[in-house]
Structure 1
Amino acid sequence: MTLERSNRWPEAEQDFKTALTLSPDQPYALNYLGYSWVEKGENIARAKAMIERAVALRPKDGYIIDSLGWAHYRLGEYGEAVIILERAIHETPDDPTINDHLGDVYWVVGRQREARFQWQRALGLATEAEMKATIQRKLDQGLPPPVPVSTSTDRPSSSSSAQ
């Protein structure tokens, strides 16, 4: 995680793959690598399957559930994303990222009032200046239509041994 947050993604990705080779059912490694791939628009089908496995292993973990909801959002599966992100909020109501994600999906499905409520809540919970600025822009301007990622653009993994 430190490598990823230090903008050293290739090294971080390899370390996550190694961790999953050693412990293929480690839910936090499955989730972190899967979520990172979803955010980057890479290996989407595989990433979603990894996150689904992590949710099966930790069905009450709001952070992992959020990752699955966000994967559905990024794939353009907005109805499913709403259901899953509402479940994530139920498990972890005071996380700014989960509230922000739920606001985004509400906006896309036409529930703008609820979206603004979630973004306002996320803004109150956020501590990082960059996140606060991003949320404030959403409150001021709403969201442009999202561009879903496609599983047809999945790149082959550099290591076939990771889950």
Structure 2
Amino acid sequence: MKKKTSGFYGNLRVAFLLIIAIFCYTQLFAQKTSEPPESMDDFFRENFPLESTLKQIDADIARNPGNPALWQTRATLLESHGKTDEALLALEKALALIPEPAPSQQNQKGKIRIVTGHSHAGALFDIAKIYLAMNRRDEARKTLQRAVQGDSPHMMACTYLGNIFLDEGNSAEALKYYSLMGHNLSTSGKISKGNALYNLKRYDEAIAEYEVAAHWKPELPSVLRHLGDAYLRAGRHADALDLYQRYVKFARQKKIPESEIAPVISRLEQLKKQPKAGSAKQD
């Protein structure tokens, strides 16, 4: 079976607080976890009521219509309240205000110039997320591909593109985008990259990705199962046996349905019947 993924003034203080909240919540999401917080939309709805917050943001935009950050803030608020069409319009407005980055030039030390200021790729990524929420996958794909062009590809856009191709069964194309991220992959990104390598029968490389994810999240059932599968394919039966046993333990602790655990138990029982082939690798 193929593996998949898975100086503000006036009322600007409100927009500023919202941006800070978005940043803090994004940092929380970016921690080494394969599971996003339960409900980001609930977080924004509870802390930033739509009507009153939108009124203040719009007042700030009226005073400073050329500030793309305000339009992006407006989009985030609208999206969190389920108004995706209006959020998309706000993001398109923000994108129009952000100049496309010039080709990178080397500085005197031979290093690539770091682009600062508002992110054109970031705005494209936000638009792509809206397209995905609206199930407009082709438009999302094209927008994400724009976000990863150039010398500084948008990291999350790389992950999203990789996930899209992985879900469509194109592991080679998925791997191309995961590899653009280098060492910046989260736990879920490591698992997805490992899945792409596994599908391409590059089991040793898949194991390397899974092992990093398992080090970050040693009790995460999904990574234990994937790593066990890769060990099994690589002929490391003792290691596979150990990982499957850990998977069953933690899967039951996390109340994963027995119907999902059963295939692993079946593989586990088959391994127990085989002659021992060396001890499991020690951590």
Calculate the TM-score normalised by the size of structure 1.
0.64
User: Which residue among 114, 138, 148 is the counterpart of 2:264?
Assistant: 138
The correspondence of residues 9-158 of structure 1 with structure 2, limited to 5 A, is: 11-12=136-137, 14-22=139-147, 25-42=153-170, 44-54=171-181, 56=182, 58-59=184-185, 61-126=186-251, 127=254, 129=256, 132-141=258-267
Tell me how far 1:128 sits from its aligned partner: 6.8
Question: Is the 8 Å Cα contact of residues 147 and 157 (structure 2) preserved in structure 1?
Answer: no
State the Cα deviation string for residues 1-25 of structure 1 (Å, max 9, x = none): 7997x9x9x6345424424424653
- Greater RCO, 1 or 2 (C-alpha within 8 Å, sep 6+): 1
Structure 1: tracts of 5 or more residues without a match: 143-163
Distance, in Å, in 2 between the alignment partners of 1:122 and 1:62 is 17
Give 2:157's aligned amino acid: A
Change (3 A) 1:17 1:88: farther
One-letter code aligned to 2:193: L
1:12–1:140 CA distance, 2 compared to 1 (3 A): same
Offset of 1:115 from its aligned partner?
1.7
Identity of aligned residues (%): 25
Letter matched to residue 53 of structure 1: L
- Unaligned regions of 5+ residues in structure 2, if any? 1-128, 269-283
Shift of 1:49: 0.9
Cα displacement (A) at 1:100: 1.3
Q: CA deviation at 1:50?
A: 0.1
Task: Determine helix, strand or coil for the equivalent of 2:218.
Answer: coil
SS of the aligned residue for 2:136 comes to helix
Q: Which residue of 2 is the match for residue 153 of structure 1?
A: none
Q: Once structures 1 and 2 are overlaid, which stretch shifts more, 91-100 or 17-26?
A: 17-26
- Mapped partners of 2:255, 2:141: distance in 1: 26
Partner in structure 2 of residue 161 of structure 1:
none
Alpha-carbon offset, residue 66 of structure 1: 1.9
Question: How much is the aligned-residue C-alpha RMSD, in angstroms?
Answer: 3.2
